[in-house]
Structure 1
């Protein structure tokens, strides 16, 4: 097996939902260090010790390099953390956000959905999806941060942290003092090695606006698109490519789409929908290398079986890895990756917290450590962490895993797709419905419902899903299997509660 073949197989096997990794898809205060007071956490019995730090200075100008609270990151988690600081009245003159991007925190899911639509299909654009729009609330544009007295440092990546001195170093040479630090750096895309063409012109990875802008420029000129990966990125980018009327092929090493969540039967129904839209699938494929053309740009994908697929644009969507970068000395989890935290998102280092994709946290309801790469967790972990930091709140994070996807949501689409999943995909799967108009899959383990996925559900049905996944009711499997519709199946489960 080639280097990239082994690489893709390893990625596929390592990102199991059952082990807590998601399927897809991150002001200065003029106070003196001598006046910084720290108290032990109110909950001394928690697994990690943490200090509660605060300034006693009344000044809130941006006159020096001391920041009471600093957030590193520019995604959903950073945006929702900022909103929670504002809600507690502790943002103005006290909070600083450092991001390597040129934009205020934004809702990243749009980048592989509406952002990739062609101009005639009303694509999403900033500031339309700045946080906190997706979760409801005031749109947090750059002006919002300015109005709230939050210091923003743009286009300046953090390169180091001095734990003893409570100091961050940035790429531009800044040295930032912090009282409490929240790491919300998210993930970076897993890339193909350069030696097999991973950095050729025309090869794309999508994690931020700059990536998406570059891809759109390629799609404008593209004729043949190849997408590597059969997960979230693969499905969403392929659906967008259909909107551009492009020759689109999706390649992946597994035997069906979204193998870490979909059952073979459910996956086949989605594959048929994509094939009806002209998308071609090459399953069980291992890539040998990406080949350059005479102009130096990518021209083809060479497979291990000797076949070649022409392509002028290639999108790699084979997973992501936590962006721990300079924070490795804070304490990493060796099983799921990321920064190890407790149920209040406190790391092992006093005064340092981690939220969103980069946090390896206790998944309470399933009694395991997890790292979840999803917008829902980014929002909720940010709110929980900041509320615990700023108040006497001590109850641990109790998260219910939630994943969703929306594709083909542009004008002229044969069918708009929106599915939601809650819980854990363990045990035996029971499928109800025929995909048109809707379908559901229920996972039952030891008689209890552990997970549920519904496609094309009503608002009322989608509201019911987290309730039943959280309750994990005992279910009569035979009765559920005999249900004639999704509505009947959900009613059976609802009655069992």
Structure 2
């Protein structure tokens, strides 16, 4: 079946309500969050000149030769890379709106939402960089490394000529080199239709997740708005709370930007077997409230309504460019335009993670990726390029995953991974139980592959296939009697 690339679909608020449609540039996340935004064709980066480093002595008393703005995964991995190169102690400052040191944000819609009897994740357990097997970077770690940190004090302004930042509390920070790692913010429903009623939740940080948990402790009926990563993960978590759960979305099936209809049907069936009600093709007219102002129902455009005492909105995200718009934005994919070393149009200023629009080298186009894997890798590549003679272009292989129903007592733990590009025709092998694989083939080449419930060895094969893009015999792949056989056929194609 020929498919256009679902990743390029626009998911604006106009899909969700009929009051003053709004466009959204975009997900945690990836979180994630977890969405790719593509510009149709590659746009060559402008010529970037590298600023000479400001001598350490210039800022010896201010501790700000390097400043990272943002407190997410990118900031944490960037800090680790500075430390690895001996350039953190007395030289690096992090300023963040977060109340905590950088942490692995994907946990917020996964294990963090488990009920207390299911061993939920809690800080400091998932501080960066434990998600990739690295050292846990607690607040004490930053102190030990001589890294200055300002929490709960977002940057509100920048003076490029004077190389200064202004924070919400009125601090004036001087920088030598600046790394913008502000991530993304949740897309919200308009206030006029109840988007901020008590009992309505969005998830981007620990405070958001804590607020949702407080609601779940008292909830009986939960409505999850959104059929993407956040929607699927939150709905799976509420099952662990034994709550009446409904997930609604405007698309034809779950995770439409990646899943094929056949694959989505298998996930939808599993969710329904676990008690989750699914409403497709639904547009929201309004969120209704009782006399106390607390949400009581979600009213749809077709006139029907769904009772709810807790509503979770997961309809995507938009890049948090804030005061950094003047660095140059990409109008097609959103975010701050950078080159293959994450340099912006202003010498000495870089942008990494969710907020950056970068050249996706292997597909020759500009992309913005909202996912933890890119947050980590872009940070490491940028800082290595900044501190060393490395001039290589970032060569990213798109990677997405999700893990749901992983709590104790779950009937089955679900974990899938996808690598590559979801373009061309698809071949699906397997019946989901015990596993399923989907292969994307364009012009005879294997462009992308998704695997559910694979072994560690099978998962390790996926990036090799997606990176190599081997020629594969579609008919032979279709004739495979099992996922294992299909993967062996794909593996053999690497040798051809």
| Same fold? TM cut 0.5 | yes
**CA 1:459–1:93 in 2, change beyond 3 Å: closer, same or farther?**
same
| Aligned with 1:471 (options 468, 479, 483) | 468
Q: Distance in 2 between matches of 1:55 and 1:341?
A: 25
The residue correspondences of 1:309-348 to structure 2 (distance < 5 A) are: 309-348=306-345
The answer for the alignment partner of 1:38 in structure 2 is: none
The answer for the alignment partner of 1:378 in structure 2 is: 375
The answer for the alignment partner of 2:7 in structure 1 is: none
Kept in 1, the 8 Å contact 2:81–2:383? The answer is yes
| Aligned with 2:285 (options 273, 281, 288) | 288
| Aligned with 1:405 (options 398, 402, 406) | 402
**CA 1:15–1:6 in 2, change beyond 3 Å: closer, same or farther?**
farther
The answer for the alignment partner of 1:483 in structure 2 is: 480
The answer for the alignment partner of 1:54 in structure 2 is: 54
Local SS of the residue matching 2:217:
helix
Local SS of the residue matching 2:439:
strand
Local SS of the residue matching 2:87:
coil
Deviation at 1:358, TM superposition (A): 0.2
Kept in 1, the 8 Å contact 2:299–2:306? The answer is yes
Q: Distance in 2 between matches of 1:56 and 1:276?
A: 61
For 1:350-406, what per-residue CA distance to the aligned partner results, in whole angstroms no more than 9, with x for missing partners? 110000000000000000000000000000000000000000000000000000000
Deviation at 1:126, TM superposition (A): 0.3
**CA 1:279–1:3 in 2, change beyond 3 Å: closer, same or farther?**
closer
Q: Give the aligned length.
A: 470
**CA 1:91–1:83 in 2, change beyond 3 Å: closer, same or farther?**
same
In the alignment, structure 1 residue 5 sits paired with structure 2 residue 17 = yes
**CA 1:243–1:8 in 2, change beyond 3 Å: closer, same or farther?**
farther
Deviation at 1:294, TM superposition (A): 1.9
The answer for the alignment partner of 2:228 in structure 1 is: 231
Q: Distance in 2 between matches of 1:11 and 1:418?
A: 31
Kept in 2, the 8 Å contact 1:15–1:23? The answer is no
Q: Distance in 1 between matches of 2:329 and 2:236?
A: 36
Deviation at 1:101, TM superposition (A): 1.2
Which blocks of at least 5 consecutive residues in structure 1 are unaligned? Answer: 26-44
Kept in 2, the 8 Å contact 1:22–1:371? The answer is no
Deviation at 1:58, TM superposition (A): 8.8
Q: Distance in 2 between matches of 1:5 and 1:326?
A: 29
Deviation at 1:85, TM superposition (A): 0.1
Local SS of the residue matching 2:176:
strand
In the alignment, structure 1 residue 249 sits paired with structure 2 residue 246 = yes
Deviation at 1:295, TM superposition (A): 1.6
Kept in 1, the 8 Å contact 2:48–2:345? The answer is yes
**CA 1:8–1:453 in 2, change beyond 3 Å: closer, same or farther?**
farther
**CA 1:8–1:82 in 2, change beyond 3 Å: closer, same or farther?**
farther
Kept in 2, the 8 Å contact 1:24–1:231? The answer is no
| Aligned with 1:440 (options 408, 433, 437) | 437
Kept in 2, the 8 Å contact 1:24–1:233? The answer is no
Deviation at 1:54, TM superposition (A): 3.2
| Aligned with 2:105 (options 83, 105, 108) | 108
**CA 1:136–1:423 in 2, change beyond 3 Å: closer, same or farther?**
same
The answer for the alignment partner of 1:218 in structure 2 is: 215
Local SS of the residue matching 2:175:
strand
**CA 1:254–1:371 in 2, change beyond 3 Å: closer, same or farther?**
same
For 1:206-234, what per-residue CA distance to the aligned partner results, in whole angstroms no more than 9, with x for missing partners? 00000000000000000000000000000
Q: Which has the higher contact order (CA 8 A, sep 6+)?
A: 2
The residue correspondences of 1:30-41 to structure 2 (distance < 5 A) are: none
In the alignment, structure 1 residue 306 sits paired with structure 2 residue 306 = no
Q: Distance in 2 between matches of 1:9 and 1:229?
A: 17
Kept in 1, the 8 Å contact 2:338–2:357? The answer is yes
For 1:188-219, what per-residue CA distance to the aligned partner results, in whole angstroms no more than 9, with x for missing partners? 00000000000100000000000000000000
For 1:266-302, what per-residue CA distance to the aligned partner results, in whole angstroms no more than 9, with x for missing partners? 0000001000110000100111000011221000001
Q: Distance in 2 between matches of 1:83 and 1:464?
A: 28
Local SS of the residue matching 2:17:
helix
The answer for the alignment partner of 2:355 in structure 1 is: 358
Q: Distance in 1 between matches of 2:59 and 2:282?
A: 61
In the alignment, structure 1 residue 450 sits paired with structure 2 residue 450 = no
**CA 1:59–1:356 in 2, change beyond 3 Å: closer, same or farther?**
closer
**CA 1:390–1:2 in 2, change beyond 3 Å: closer, same or farther?**
closer
Deviation at 1:102, TM superposition (A): 1.0
**CA 1:7–1:268 in 2, change beyond 3 Å: closer, same or farther?**
farther
Deviation at 1:56, TM superposition (A): 4.5
The answer for the alignment partner of 2:123 in structure 1 is: 126
| Aligned with 1:415 (options 412, 421, 439) | 412
Local SS of the residue matching 1:152:
strand
Q: Distance in 2 between matches of 1:22 and 1:483?
A: 34
**CA 1:179–1:426 in 2, change beyond 3 Å: closer, same or farther?**
same
Q: Distance in 1 between matches of 2:188 and 2:314?
A: 9
Kept in 2, the 8 Å contact 1:15–1:22? The answer is no
The residue correspondences of 1:144-183 to structure 2 (distance < 5 A) are: 144-183=141-180
Deviation at 1:103, TM superposition (A): 0.3
